[in-house]
Structures are given as C-alpha cells and as structure tokens.
Structure 1
C-alpha cells in the first residue's frame, strides 16, 4: 500500500513536471503541442508515464495501445513502481550537470524510458505474463537499444546514461543509486552456474565495461571504462583494465 508520504511525493513531482511543461509550451509554441499531448493532457504522473512508454515503443497504433495498457496495468497493480520511476527521474537531475529540470529527461532520455519499460516487464514476468514481458523487452531492445531481462532485479534512483548498447541479463541484481553508461554488459559467465552479478548501492559502471559471473560488486565501487570484471570488487574500490585490477581500496586487494 502506498504511504501518505509517497503519495505526497508523487503529487509534488507531477506538479513540478506540469509547471515545467506549461512554461515550455509558452516559450515554444511549436514544441507546445508535443508537451500538451505528452504531459498536460494527463491527470497524473501514472497516466503520463504509461502513455510515454506506449508512444516510445509502439510502432503502430495497436502496439502503442498494447504497451500503454501493459504499463497502466503494472502501475495500478503495483503503485510503488511509479514511486520508483519518480526517484529515477530525480536521480538524473541530481547526477547530470547538464540537466536543470525534470521535463527534458522525462521526454527525451531513452535510458529513462527503457528503465521504466523494464519495470513494467518485470511486473509482467512476476505475474506469469512472460510472453508479454519478453515482448516488451524485445521492443525496448529494438527501439531504445537497451535490453534488460524481465527476470533481472533493479533498485531505484538508477541512471542509464546515454543508454545505448546496454545489456543486463536474467537474475542480475542491481542496487539503488547505480549509474550505468553506454555499451555495458552484465550477465552470467560461460558455463558457470546461473547466478549472475550482484551490483551494490551507488556503484558507477563506466562505458564499455563487462561484468560477468557469480560475483559481487560492493557498495560505491567504480568500474572503469572498458573494464572486464569476472571477480568480486570490494565496496569503495575502483576496478580498471582487462583483466580488472583494483585500485583506491581502503585495504590491499588482489586482482578482481
């Protein structure tokens, strides 16, 4: 059940978004029609977000309606998905110095849409609508170039920055406040057991990194660009290179 605090936070977020949308529509009448359709036509953040997913993934009117309905059902069935979506949106504003408001990442950042599409597909997967979940994953991969398996688990305040070529496999676990740049692959390793990487809170994963196998990446660790990680990375450490080696650890550590 949604707490009163969560409801208030969602309402505040929505009013901020609508305020930005009204100002944007006034400043740019050409853009104003798009803003009106995407934001001002809706009564709340839930409706706007479901419609946004349908618009971005649906190549036809029928597909748009299908994906909007999937999203609406998921948000109604698990309202805290909408709270997580709000935290994801605020996380972009906090971590990206080029962003000054909520509206641009909501409307224009495909990583944000891909993440919310995954939240819907994960809900479908857990409720035994697995064909629908895989359909949603496939469309997000085709259209947005982000493929997150519905059986993965992601926290909130996650930021997929640039969001091209990201692949996250089944059973991967990603904590809160994680940032993932482009061309990152996270999944199982070869013929090893099916357990996949567990990524802790506040981890930063640089572009082109590969994280494979039954391993743990500790809280607030950093994975450098192009790094290949097949072993544990303790919390707070930085992993760089191929094969990965650890730096900036509080205690001496061997290669990851």
Structure 2
C-alpha cells in the first residue's frame, strides 16, 4: 500500500471530528493554575483569576460542541463557588494534619500529600459537574488520578474534613455519598456491584456516614450499601450490604507460618 493510500485510510477512520486532545492538555494546565491560585503564597490571585477566565472560555468552546450543552455564563457561576471550595479544602488539610502523626506541618500537607491534591482537584471539578459543564470535570479528576493514583469521579458527593491517607489505589465512584469527617486509606474501593449502561442514572455506589474510618484495601460495593456513622471497616474487608452505626468490621485471613530447622 502506498503512503497516500495509508494516509487516506487513516483519515477515513478518524470518526470523531470533535476529538481534540488539546482540550485534555489545556484542562490540565488550567487545573494546575487554579490550584496555585488558591494555595501558592507567591501567586497573585487577581492576575490569575483574569487569565483563568480567558483559559476557561477557550476550554468551554472546545468542550461545548454539542448544542444540548450551554456554557454561557458558566465562568461567573463557577468563580462564585471558589471561596467556599477553598474553605472546604482548608478543612480537609486541617483534618489530615490533625489525624496523621507523620505530618510535621500544615504546609507539608498542602505541598506533598497526594490525597490532599486528589481531594482538591475533585472539589474543583465537582462544582463544574454540578453546573453541567461537559467533559472538563472528568478531565480534571483524571489529571489528579494520573498524578496521585486516586480515582475520584467528579459526580461523587463528599462532605467536610475528608482524609485520604497514602492515597494510591483509591477508587470512589460517581454516585458515592461520603458524609463528614471520613477517613480512608490506600486501596479502598467504593464501587458498583456490576457495570451496565442502563445503571447510568441510578445510584450504584455506597453511602458512607459521618466519622467512618475505612482501612487499606477494603472494598465496599452497591448503591444500597450504607456504612453507618462512627463505624470502622478493617483492611481487606469485602462488603456488599449495609453496616449499622458504631460497628467494627474485620477480615481475618488464615495465615500459616512454618519454621524451618537449619541443620
């Protein structure tokens, strides 16, 4: 096959005229600048807000090719949510600093904790998800997923003072509800019992009530599953049904140790 035929073959199979990867790249740049605007002491808020508006307008133009989605005045609506988002994120950072004996300063949390970064980008994306802006919220949380190993769908509903420790491997599905003062560790999955397209508009992920701690590699599945307030879910637990308030759930694998005798 000649080169011109190969080129034509590729062009004929490029079926998505709106699939522009610069939307992904520019969303990541916008997200990082937004993070710096909220937290970096050397970043001028006023200057960055103006440049963020310009970048956001370009993103909206790229994302809103479908006429069923309207992106007009989205920036102003989003801008008005930023002070409240920052208030919640400061509560998250303080919750981490209070809970983790390894945190030597609050600055360490903001600068180095992957769990905090993932929560921050989730909260920034969640407001755009609520507004109904297409694609951009998911690209924002996927940016954090790539950076931290934490996969939080922007549709999840997460309360105040949320703490993800160590972070890597955490999965929080779209219809998950997490109340206040919840602490989870690495490898935790809050997922669906099964995946099917007809579940798109159905609550399929768990609800976690106030003051719950979920330890490493626990898996909690199902939209009807509720973890009652003040409960502790031990590491490696597998749950597909609800747990009453004030419960302790443990998983006890059988471990055998054989000692060899050295001759």
Q: Which TM-score band applies after superposition, normalised by the shorter structure?
A: 0.5 to 0.7
Cα gap change, 1:217/1:229 in structure 2, threshold over 3 Å: closer, same or farther? same
Residue 118 of structure 2 is aligned to residue 117 of structure 1: no
Higher relative contact order (CA 8 A, sep 6+): 2
Q: Secondary structure at the match of 1:42?
A: coil
CA shift in 2, pair 1:140/1:242, >3 Å: farther
Residue 145 of structure 1 and its aligned partner are, at CA, apart by 0.7
2:238 aligns to what?
228
Q: Does 1:189 align with 2:193?
A: yes
**Number of residue pairs the alignment of both structures matches:** 191
Aligned counterparts of 1:47 and 1:223: Cα–Cα separation in 2? 46
Counterpart of 2:219 (choices 207, 210, 215) is 210
Residue-by-residue CA offset, 1:24-80 (whole Å, 9 max, x unaligned): xxxxxxxxxxxxxx7331357x999x9xxx9xxxxxxx99x97xxx99984543421
Correspondence 1:1-256 to 2 at 5 A: 39-42=40-43, 74=78, 76-190=80-194, 194-195=202-203, 196-213=205-222, 214-241=224-251
Length-normalised TM-score, structure 1: 0.66
CA deviation map 1:177-207 (0-9, x unaligned)? 1001001110221269632211001100000
Rg (Cα) greater in structure: 2
TM-score by length of 2: 0.65
Unaligned runs of 5+ in 1: 1-37, 55-61, 244-256
Task: Give SS of 1:94's match.
Answer: helix
Alpha-carbon distance in structure 2 between the residues aligned to 1:106 and 1:224: 27
Q: 1:142 to 1:79 in 2, by over 3 A?
A: same
The alignment yields a C-alpha RMSD, in angstroms, of 3.2
* C-alpha displacement of 1:98: 1.9
